[in-house]
Amino acid sequence: MLKSFPLSNQTLKDVVVLGPENRQQVSPEAVVRLARSFPQFHIDDLDSLRDEYVDFQLTSDSELPQEKEIDRFWGNVGKMVCAGNTRFTLLPKLMKGLLCIPHSNASSERTFSMVGRIVTENRHDLGNDTVCALLSCKLNCDVKASVFKPSKSVLKSAKSATYMYNQEHRTQRA
């Protein structure tokens, strides 16, 4: 199993920078490599990023946020002020972006599975808007459909929307 993991991948080695306890062991070049690996984070000034990381490395532990949760730690690093200016701007942006990268594709696989249960053989004509609306309901509603009791205003809105939809499609067919 270990043979299938890309353990020699440099990006995977560089992401140890996310752990503040590793700041003395990780080089500024590793941070720059990460920024280059993820251009969608829009960190163009790599020299400033390098300078911020060196400043971060030189910052004493007592000045840094005392957060155990890594996302809050980097959020608070982004709020640190020096001489009235935000001390770190690019570094927390990169770190928070790295933290948002999914660790697996299980979530997207579950979503595809839900779509498969929505678009069945008998419902293959559903439009994209309808599938998206049904998927949104499935993902965002905590109440089971069998116990959901819509209010009168919701029912009225649904009936109105159905009537308008049917009217629109009747005129298109004719």
108-137 pLDDT, tens digit each: 888 889 899 899 888 888 889 889 988 888
pLDDT at residue 6 tops 90: no
pLDDT at residue 1 tops 70: no
CA angle at 106 for the pair 132 and 73, rounded to the nearest 5°: 100
Q: pLDDT value at position 18?
A: 95
Q: pLDDT value at position 137?
A: 84
* Residue 53: how many other CB atoms lie within 10 Å: 24
Q: What value does the mean pLDDT of the chain take?
A: 90
For 57, half-sphere exposure in the C-beta direction (CA atoms, 13 angstrom radius) is 16
Q: pLDDT value at position 169?
A: 81
| Beta carbons within 8 Å of 9's beta carbon, 6+ residues apart | none
Longest CA–CA separation in the chain, Å: 75
Helices (DSSP H) in the chain: which residue ranges? 10-14, 28-37, 46-58, 70-77, 90-99, 106-118, 128-140, 152-173
* Residue 147: how many other CB atoms lie within 10 Å: 6
Measured between alpha carbons, how far is 103 from 29 in angstroms, rounded to an integer? 24
Q: pLDDT value at position 49?
A: 97
Q: pLDDT value at position 38?
A: 93
| Beta carbons within 8 Å of 26's beta carbon, 6+ residues apart | 14, 16, 17
| Beta carbons within 8 Å of 46's beta carbon, 6+ residues apart | 32, 35, 36
pLDDT at residue 66 tops 70: yes
Distances (CA, A) of 156 to 136, 163, 166: 21, 11, 15
Enumerate the β-bridge partners of residue 83.
Answer: none
Residue 27 banded pLDDT, cuts 50, 70, 90: very high
Q: What is the mean predicted confidence (pLDDT) over 53-67?
A: 96
pLDDT at residue 174 tops 70: no
- Which of the 8 DSSP states describes residue 37? H
